[in-house]
Structure 1
Amino acid sequence: MERRTFIAGAVAVSGVSAVGGATLSAAAEPDGSGSTADHVRGVTAITKVFGAGQKLVAVAVEYDREIDGSALSTSTFAVTDRTVTKVYANRTAELAERGSDGRYVIVELSPDDTAAALWVTQQGSGTGTATPSPSASSSGAPGGGGPKVGDSTPGGTIVAAKASLVQKGTVTTARGTRYPATGTTLTTDKVVNLIVDDFQQFTYDDSATGQTLKYNLFVPMNYDPRKRYPLVLFMHDASVVNVATEGPLVQGLGAVCWASPEDQARHECFVLAPEYGSVVVDDTYKPSTLFDATAGLVEAVTKKYSVDENRRYTTGQSMGAMMSLGLNIKYPDLFAAAFIVAGQWPSEQAAPLADKNLWILVSQDDDKSYSGENAITKVIQEQGTEVGTAVWDGQSTAAQFAADVRNLEKQKAPVNYASFQTGTTVAAGSGTSAHMGTWQIAYTIPGIRDWIMRQSR
């Protein structure tokens, strides 16, 4: 599947192109004469999704000649409101550990810059926040003082990926031609959204409920209908309701982590991420008909593609975690395993979960979800099912989390329950709650996903 490229605003008039307000000749002199800007053929913004959401992480400047990467440095370019961390040449408009001489100069930018954030929530993202609205709860959880079932007020905003930069130093071609510094401002005219662009967008009409669902679907790159593939359903939290269809892909890692090249190399699978137009469930635990429509969507995708019915999985955060629990109770044959992140469900309904493979992750200072999961796992144990338990430090390194997963797996329980120590899921002053901080970390731990993928119904 080819990565789609979104055009953000290229302009062409009578054979000339406009970049940053300067009119550039369509044909550069072959010997390198003319202004430096004449040799720029395009500027591409590159985005990447992190736990806190999508960010603009690089700009790729395309020249008309192959560029000598050895002559580049972080001072070669200045990007408005951004910190340049790395500059190198490359053959394509892509990030690389090590560059190679090519027509593109990749200008990498700090993801910690305030201006990097492209997903901005009303509940705090750590890098940028919108003005709070009455529809957004302080914890980011549905119910309580937050959004109610049927509320369609968006809790987050997708910011367009744009950047402006100036070439402040000399760029030298592989043949030695020098393109001197220039005061011309270059602006991005294309966008490459890493992993996000590998999803397709569709709508599903559910005949049983009359509901229409927008959804994103990742199809394995080398899909072969003669094979059978696992499917992962990701359901977003209440802050993502009623935004663009791509909302579940840019709000954090919950959907895109399963579609990363690294995960797909280990576990080829479909990834399904609906975009809900309104809140589906709140703390009354009486979901709207979008709940049942979601089960219909899973079945419809299973029938359309070669999906293994015994290896369908569900995951979600907050509202999505609640839906994952509820769907496992109401539709016990739908999923083989579930990754539950910062959610809860009435314990008096939890007995059927004793027959499920679950990995539960919550923060101990997320009062509602933590107490809710404690009640659920108590019921599961009372039903005679073993529950493996562990307490983790949310600030652990990747290696430490990998060891944490292995140690919990050694308990050989069908239900694994890990909780983050109080105060370890959020940085001081970030404005992010422990509730939201949980899922910003949860989907960065590949060992949990590996465990999920080993389960079968």
Structure 2
Amino acid sequence: MKKSNIKLVVLMLTFLCCLSTFPLFAQPPRFSFEKYVTTEGDTLNYRLLYPDANPLRKFPLVVFLHGGGENGNDNDAQLKWGVMNFATDQAMAKHPAFVIAPQCPKDMNWFNFNFEENIKLLPDPSKPMELMIKLINELIEKYPIDKNRIYITGLSSGGTGTFDAIQRYPDLFAAAVPVCGGGDISKAASIAHIPMWIIQGVEDPAGDPRSSIDMAKALINTGGRPGLTLYPEVGHFSWLAAYSNSALMEWLFRQQK
């Protein structure tokens, strides 16, 4: 082989190696990086999944609240559990929707409950919850979102945050899926009209399963018809089965006010 040909082969191999090193052909993240900033300078990082939006149609909005282990400011950790099930090819084709995954800052919470005895809702929302509601209202104005199909779900502290959100804003959401969370049972009557699927692992060491069971009973006693799934032999990671359940997805996207 001529020296010129050898050099050409070496250059081609080097180029191919570079392609494998740099993700030039990597698929961009399906959730865009976003930041909500108020006029006062308060900030809430979030990720946003867009549907294949037709301007002549309106789409559901799914609000996903992560657990406490994903608090921070990297605007990435909140995608670790659960929410990616809304971004699969199958989910996006069958259930096109806007999906937001905000990130709660470190040392803060989605909820503002008093846990000293029974869980009690305190008067004011936490700062992340306040910002999240403002963000939802902004997105409603900006995108073709169906206000009758706004859903909220969350896991662990995000499950508790889900209860906090629907108990503070009971007329905003068309359905709720709290996963291993807890809420104020005394407020059950105010949210009994919201279609709800409560999910819990019966061996959860971090969240008392009785919180989910007692809330379901309180909702039924005040006229609600919640779903309740208790996974046997499952600890805190009940969200693994929850969000991979196609029946849950089908149920959620059927709901509307």
**Aligned equivalents of 2:90, 2:77: Cα separation in 1:** 22
Letter in 1 for 2:135: L
Higher strand proportion (structure 1 or 2): 1
Matches within 5 A, 1:18-167: 29=5, 33-34=9-10, 37-38=13-14, 40-44=16-20
Matches within 5 A, 1:42-441: 42-44=18-20, 188-190=21-23, 197-206=29-38, 211-220=42-51, 222-249=52-79, 251-252=80-81, 254-278=82-106, 279-280=108-109, 281=111, 284=114, 286=122, 287-366=125-204, 368-386=207-225, 415-421=226-232, 423=233, 425=234, 434-435=235-236, 437-441=237-241
CA contact (8 A) 1:225 1:306 kept: yes
User: CA 1:307/1:38 → structure 2, altered by over 3 Å: closer, same or farther?
Assistant: same
Q: Which structure ranks higher in relative contact order (CA pairs < 8 Å, sequence separation ≥ 6)? A: 2
- The structure number with the bigger radius of gyration is 1
The alpha-carbon deviation at position 344 of structure 1 amounts to 0.6
The alpha-carbon deviation at position 32 of structure 1 amounts to 7.8
**Aligned equivalents of 2:25, 2:249: Cα separation in 1:** 26
TM-score (norm 1): 0.49
SS at the partner of 1:40?
Answer: helix
CA contact (8 A) 2:71 2:78 kept: no
Whether 1:452 aligns to 2:252 is yes
**Aligned residues between the structures:** 243
Letter in 2 for 1:366: D
CA contact (8 A) 1:282 1:319 kept: no
TM-score (norm 2): 0.85
Higher helix proportion (structure 1 or 2): 2
| Unaligned segments of structure 2, at least 5 residues | 115-120
SS at the partner of 2:192?
Answer: helix
**Aligned equivalents of 1:456, 1:449: Cα separation in 2:** 14
**Aligned equivalents of 1:330, 1:245: Cα separation in 2:** 26
**Aligned equivalents of 2:96, 2:146: Cα separation in 1:** 12
The alpha-carbon deviation at position 349 of structure 1 amounts to 2.2
The alpha-carbon deviation at position 204 of structure 1 amounts to 1.1
CA contact (8 A) 1:211 1:290 kept: no
Counterpart for residue 117 of structure 2: none
The alpha-carbon deviation at position 444 of structure 1 amounts to 1.4
Instruction: After superposition, give the CA deviation of every residue in 1:276-301 in whole Å (9 maximum; x if it has no partner).
Output: 11321376355522212211111111
User: CA 1:219/1:366 → structure 2, altered by over 3 Å: closer, same or farther?
Assistant: same
CA contact (8 A) 2:188 2:222 kept: no
CA contact (8 A) 1:340 1:361 kept: yes
**Aligned equivalents of 2:11, 2:144: Cα separation in 1:** 55
User: CA 1:369/1:351 → structure 2, altered by over 3 Å: closer, same or farther?
Assistant: farther
**Aligned equivalents of 2:22, 2:49: Cα separation in 1:** 26
Instruction: After superposition, give the CA deviation of every residue in 1:154-187 in whole Å (9 maximum; x if it has no partner).
Output: xxxxxxxxxxxxxxxxxxxxxxxxxxxxxxxxxx
CA contact (8 A) 1:339 1:358 kept: yes
CA contact (8 A) 1:206 1:297 kept: no
Counterpart for residue 118 of structure 2: none
**Aligned equivalents of 2:54, 2:87: Cα separation in 1:** 17
**Aligned equivalents of 2:5, 2:31: Cα separation in 1:** 40
The alpha-carbon deviation at position 451 of structure 1 amounts to 0.6
**Aligned equivalents of 1:240, 1:193: Cα separation in 2:** 25
**Aligned equivalents of 1:354, 1:294: Cα separation in 2:** 23
Could you tell me the percent identity over the aligned residues? Answer: 26
User: CA 1:443/1:29 → structure 2, altered by over 3 Å: closer, same or farther?
Assistant: farther
CA contact (8 A) 2:198 2:216 kept: no
User: CA 1:30/1:272 → structure 2, altered by over 3 Å: closer, same or farther?
Assistant: farther
